[in-house]
A and B are shown apart, each in its own frame.
Chain A
Amino acid sequence: DAGVIQSPRHEVTEMGQEVTLRCKPISGHNSLFWYRQTMMRGLELLIYFNNNVPIDDSGMPEDRFSAKMPNASFSTLKIQPSEPRDSAVYFCASSMDSVGYTGELFFGEGSRLTVL
């Protein structure tokens, strides 16, 4: 099992550029979560999907952020235009929603974004 796969692992970009972060959840999982982590704010839930449908995006900071899940094996988090305050580590996690399952979230290694 390859686990949750995120790309890129590191991204350095300039203010105003578009950033796209990618996530491949664990095969068979039907829930996907995007988190952002900074020293100041800790781990923040941005959005989560269930069966490819966005369920709660109340954590998305503003309209510059958008997330999609076109199919069960792929999700993107896009920032356009990026700003220095978006610098953070972005984590993707997946889980299985089903009877008898533990509710455990499996996290990827994260994408470290630096906006200059």
Chain B
Amino acid sequence: DAKTTQPPSMDCAEGRAANLPCNHSTISGNEYVYWYRQIHSQGPQYIIHGLKNNETNEMASLIITEDRKSSTLILPHATLRDTAVYYCIAWPWEGSSNTGKLIFGQGTTLQVKP
């Protein structure tokens, strides 16, 4: 599975967009980019995933570069409740089975400040 690299921590002002980068320069063609977050002492929560197209849902947007070597998770209007550790994971998914293990790195600790 491709290794991902994220900054250990970031700050964001409440109400502003939070842009969390992730580098996955060795990602394989069948590996999707998944984002999860973990709010203090809770289980990780799925946010969004994508293969090569940009994706948006009610929680966030995911921008993947054309060469797929990096991506950015965007929280458009960060709130204090978005303070959490955000994990970027490259995971092979063939559409019918999990072909690998979902491995969490150290993630980015996002602190949203009033």
Q: Which residues of A contact B (CB under 8 A)?
A: 4, 31, 33, 35, 42-43, 45, 48, 50, 56, 59, 89, 91, 93, 95, 97-110
Shortest A102–chain B CB gap in Å is 7
A45 to B106, CA, bound (A): 13
Shortest A28–chain B CB gap in Å is 16
Query: B42 — nearest CB in chain A belongs to which residue?
Result: A109
Query: A44 — nearest CB in chain B belongs to which residue?
Result: B104
Shortest B34–chain A CB gap in Å is 7
Query: B91 — nearest CB in chain A belongs to which residue?
Result: A103
Shortest B3–chain A CB gap in Å is 14
A35 to B44, CA, bound (A): 11
The reply to whether B102 and A45 form a contact with Cβ atoms under 8 Å apart is yes
A42-B105, A98-B96 given as contacts; is B43 within 8 A of A103 (CB)? no
The reply to whether A103 and B49 form a contact with Cβ atoms under 8 Å apart is yes
